[in-house]
Structure 1
Amino acid sequence: MSIFKNRTVVGAICILLSLLICFGITPLFNKTVSQKTEIVRVAKEIKAGDEITKDMVQLVEVGGFGLPENVIRQTDTVVGKYAAADLSVGDYILAPKLSDTPAAENAYLYNLDGSKQAMSITIKSFAYGLSGKIQSGDIVSVIAPDYKKQGTTVIPPELKYVEVISVTASSGYDANTGEAPAVEDEKELPSTVTLMVSPEQSCALAALEAEGKLHLSLVYRGAPENTAKFIAAQEKVIAALYPTKQEEAQPEQPQTPASQQPAESEAQ
């Protein structure tokens, strides 16, 4: 007769197994569930592309069971990084939701060094902005109809070669980040174009924007080294149009009084 046909033996085995589960496995499971660990949690709403600061996150203690392996556990790992997705209050921060660089749609703003400025101009109609085909890195000319109300259409010399750094849709999102839109998403039309300009160019653009009359024409699209040549040529024109005020000439050295000048040698 097999041992498992003996009801007494089978019952004893079941009892032993139940005791093992109750006093062995269950306490270990409860201990694991109740074990606490610290993680970083969102304290303020964070939008995609925002730089994360200390007041946006908090270190909290939670149960360690079932936490994702890539959950962030130290605030130093988060502060100074950029959100790759929208984060709501109470969310755990996972490593894939962080980025070392700002989002594509505003990364260019972090490259400004003070010598130039980023300035946006409004695209009044589809045709004014090259039918939505302008891209970051393009060199464009700004055309001013009825320039200074003189009845002529000109390209102001200070705006002959201007670099495009962004094209933005009416929703506020950049329309040319380089990322392919989802198939079901309808392509947004450009509403503004952001240009890299000098202070002198920004003043000229502001005047044209106030008048509501300006067009953009594409001059060059291609290698960055060639783009730099157009920018260098424009900078020379601006330097000639708006010469830097030279420092006042240094005062002449005081002349030595005649009485103190050495007498000329008498002719021998």
Structure 2
Amino acid sequence: MNSSIESMALDVSDQEMLLFQQLFREHIGLYLPFSKKALLCSRLSRRLGELSLCTLKEYHSLISLPHEEAERQRAIDLITTNETYFFREQKHFDALRDEILPQIDRRHPLKVWSAASSTGEEAYSIAMVLDDHRGQLPWSILASDISQRVLSFGRRALYPMVRGELIAPAYLSRYCLRGTGEYEGHFLVDQKIRKRVSFEQRNLLSLPADMDGQFDVVFLRNVIIYFDFPTKVDVLRSVVNKLRPGGWLIVGHSESLHGMPLELQMHAPSIYRRLP
């Protein structure tokens, strides 16, 4: 990478930051405060070098063009935070197993949505719980994200062993195939549960109406913290509409729905039910 481009990008102006704030808010609802200037630079500087562009303003002009949708998506992929791991926030999976599943008719075709699935660890963690407790009964998982890059990673289902450190030993041996040779230090999620998980791109700002009322459980964790308050409310209203009446919504432990006019009743901290 051109070192001059890298050092230039680290000196992003307030005007340039405002341009990217507006672009990401418009397309994905992401609120990018001025405190994230360094993140913007570190994520985009390499791409500027690859395109031989000299300023972030030039790159913004490029990705603002209507026909540059692919490059705009690449910028979105670069800027969104995707780091995760299996069974993150374990208490949610315990609640799914011990409190939520027992209240759903076992004959009912269970549908779960991992609404900000990133590279798939959350969706496959859910799948392990469902297979363990629902087996061959009808169930499926939709895993969605705004980033095509992370969706491709999730479909591949091959992970470094460090991502699976919190997988229970029984689940690790049952659902994960240890890599050998060039895949040493990795594991592959077993096809038995992979086939129950579908990965699709979804923008939380523009969810299709045909998803309304489809899901028994929605995991929407560690994503609304990136939205401003009005956008949080809009996104959550839309997501709640995707739940069937009485369905369950799980958000991140650090995320609060306090003061939001939503058709939800708190079951436990970070766990809610849609009103009948």
TM-score, normalised to structure 2, is 0.28
TM-score, normalised relative to structure 1: 0.28
